[in-house]
Amino acid sequence: MKENKKEIIEDLGDGLILRRSNILDVETLRDFNGRMHVNSGGEFSESIAAWIKDLASGNHPTFKPKDFTIVEDTRTGKIVSSLNLIHQKWSFEGIEFGVGRIEAVATEADYRRRGLVRKQMDLAHQWSEDRGDKIQAITGIPWYYRQFGYEMTVNLGGGRRGFLPDIPILKKDQDEPYVVRQPTKKEIPLIKDLSEYTAKRHTLSCKRDVEMWSYEIFGRNKNSAVRFNTRVIEDSDGKFVGYILHNFKLSGMSLNIFEYEIIDGLSWLDVTPSVLRYLEKTGKDYAKKESTKKLKKEMKSFNLQLGEDHPVYFILQNKAPQINTPYAWYLRLPDIVGFLNHISPVLEERLAKSYVVGHSGELKLNFFKSGVILHFDKGKIKAEAWDKPDFEDAHVNFPDLSFLKILFGHRDYEELNTAYADLYCDSNHMHARPLLEALFIRKPSNFMAIE
Ligand SMILES: CC(C)(COP(=O)(O)OP(=O)(O)OC[C@H]1O[C@@H](n2cnc3c(N)ncnc32)[C@H](O)[C@@H]1OP(=O)(O)O)[C@@H](O)C(=O)NCCC(=O)NCCS
């Protein structure tokens, strides 16, 4: 199929067609999404429009101009509904798999509640599964995506906010021990490696190769809603010791920070004061640049959007006093058995380090309409579908999609058991809870996926 030919997938009747996007849709997709995903003032979002243009033009390393679904009204030739699928690789404690991230979901007001998004979700799921992705993921409005088989099951955002008076002042006779500056192309592999190394703190992480990092730093439109500034941290000898990602403008009176990592063997206590002073200076420079005659902008705080837990919180303690609880990613896992077998090396390692090392036997997980039997053979683990589960025969019961919360380290058994009365280990099966808690560990994730 030629890149600029309309690939019609289905005639939806009433003059509407469902089709793939192509390179000729760049401007109409840009305009449609800018109007649909308005800014905080309710106006056309130039930053969303810039992001969509980047994606649709084909410059993005993991996205092609044909990766939007479009519903077009053939009577007017206009796009009336659309979404897209952004390909990426994620990792579960080092084990990689493909993910299809669905974003930019919208329907023109006059065409809503006719099932147009449902149709496109089905199509995007098919595209993603055809590519071999194990998971589909969305950051989206509350509840809505549960209708399409998703559960909110990985932290999204959240963190701590601190205020300028708490930033340590550099003594008059002291040189800044660490300098924060723009990266060069040469430093991209160092940033990539450090990002991969520190991802070990989390259950899930997103992989960025050198090309993707290069695109993030040098390739995106400067107004894009998903661009951030990457800065490297170096010591007094000019040696790379870490990096930080922050917004390129103020959000209200705050500068948002999305990642902050330093190399192993270095104290966070040593580096953090220099980084905070850099953030203060940068935020104040942005405030000056963003001020107009009518509106004087000010920077008053730094917002560490580093998730539920991060080494810098341990350093700052009550100097970053405001706690912002995370929202959540929606994940869809169509083949739980296949996924459990894919990550079995991680589960086997957890078992080997637990009090139930070398276990043999089985653990029957009941999801009510389906289930999984985990077979243990001297510490080896294999998952198998349990087609006709029965709660009287089950070892652990998980209503709806609650199992995903424990699988992805979002919540532990105790928390889930408190939240759902019908989620429990059957006390007649003594092995159930020790095995469950050996395999599934609460280890919250925080990562920036590819967008
Ligand atoms: C939210 C939005 C994308 C829904 O589009 P739509 O084409 O009306 O969606 P659909 O009709 O395919 O919805 C599928 C189901 O969700 C229901 N639904 C639609 N909007 C809903 C909403 N806001 N909340 C809850 N359910 C909703 C529909 O009735 C339908 O239910 P059914 O399949 O049981 O009949 C659309 O209202 C929109 O563009 N909003 C503004 C932009 C936005 O918020 N986008 C989402 C960003 S994550």
What pLDDT does 437 receive? 98
Q: Is the four-CA dihedral 52, 58, 61, 66 of positive or negative sign?
A: positive
CB atoms < 10 A from the CB of 51, how many? Answer: 26
251 and 183, same domain (yes or no): yes
Residue 1 clears pLDDT 60, i.e. is over it: no
Q: Is 5 in the pocket of ligand 1 (CB under 6 A)?
A: no
Q: Which two tokens stand for residue 259?
A: 């990642």
Q: Of the candidates 274, 297, 324, which is a domain's last residue?
A: 324
Going from the Cα of 112 to the center of ligand 1, the distance in angstroms, rounded, reads: 7
Task: Using CA atoms of 389, 394, 397, 401 in order, give the dihedral in degrees to the nearest 10.
Answer: -30
> Starting at the edge strand that comes first in sequence, how are the strands of the sheet with 396-397 ordered?
380-385, 371-377, 361-366, 396-397, 424-425
Residue 6 clears pLDDT 90, i.e. is over it: no
CA distance 142 to 149: 14
Using the CB atoms, write b or e for 12-28: b if 16+ within 10 Å.
beeebbbbbbbeebbeb
Query: What pTM, to 2 d.p., does this model score?
Result: 0.96
* Any domain includes 147: no
Q: CATH no. for residue 278?
A: 3.40.630.30
347 and 204, same domain (yes or no): no
* Any domain includes 330: no
* Any domain includes 151: no
What pLDDT does 75 receive? 97
Alpha carbon nearest to ligand 1 atom 20, residue:
113
- What is the average pLDDT value for the chain, to the nearest integer? 97
* Any domain includes 444: no
Alpha carbon nearest to ligand 1 atom 6, residue:
112
One-letter identity of residue 18: L
* Any domain includes 449: no
Q: CATH no. for residue 351?
A: 3.30.1050
What pLDDT does 3 receive? 60
Cα separation values, 97 from 223, 418, 445, Å = 31, 32, 16
What pLDDT does 5 receive? 74
Q: Is 105 in the pocket of ligand 1 (CB under 6 A)?
A: yes
Q: Is 109 in the pocket of ligand 1 (CB under 6 A)?
A: no
133 and 177, same domain (yes or no): no
Ligand 1 atom at minimal distance to the Cα of residue 37: 42
CB atoms < 10 A from the CB of 153, how many? Answer: 25
116 and 167, same domain (yes or no): no
pLDDT tens digits for range 388-443: 999 999 999 999 999 999 999 999 999 999 999 999 999 999 999 999 999 999 99
What pLDDT does 438 receive? 98
pLDDT tens digits for range 151-203: 999 999 999 999 999 999 999 999 999 999 999 999 999 999 999 999 999 99
Going from the Cα of 159 to the center of ligand 1, the distance in angstroms, rounded, reads: 30
Q: Where are the beta strands (DSSP E) in 132-203?
A: 135-138, 151-156, 159-163, 179-181
Over residues 100-129, the mean pLDDT reads 98
What pLDDT does 158 receive? 97
315 and 362, same domain (yes or no): no
Q: Is the four-CA dihedral 386, 390, 391, 395 of positive or negative sign?
A: negative
| Ligand 1 probe mutation, 40, 107, 145, most atoms within 8 A of CB | 107
What pLDDT does 2 receive? 59
342 and 397, same domain (yes or no): yes
What pLDDT does 4 receive? 65
Q: Is 221 in the pocket of ligand 1 (CB under 6 A)?
A: no
Residue 78 clears pLDDT 70, i.e. is over it: yes
Q: Which two tokens stand for residue 177?
A: 């021990």
184 and 234, same domain (yes or no): yes
Domain housing 386: 335-439
What pLDDT does 80 receive? 98
Number of domains in the chain: 3
* Any domain includes 280: yes
Confidence of residue 118 (pLDDT cuts 50, 70, 90): very high
Confidence of residue 317 (pLDDT cuts 50, 70, 90): very high
CA distance 56 to 69: 11
What pLDDT does 103 receive? 98
275 and 316, same domain (yes or no): yes
CA distance 255 to 244: 12
425 and 344, same domain (yes or no): yes
Q: Is 144 in the pocket of ligand 1 (CB under 6 A)?
A: yes
Q: Is 38 in the pocket of ligand 1 (CB under 6 A)?
A: no
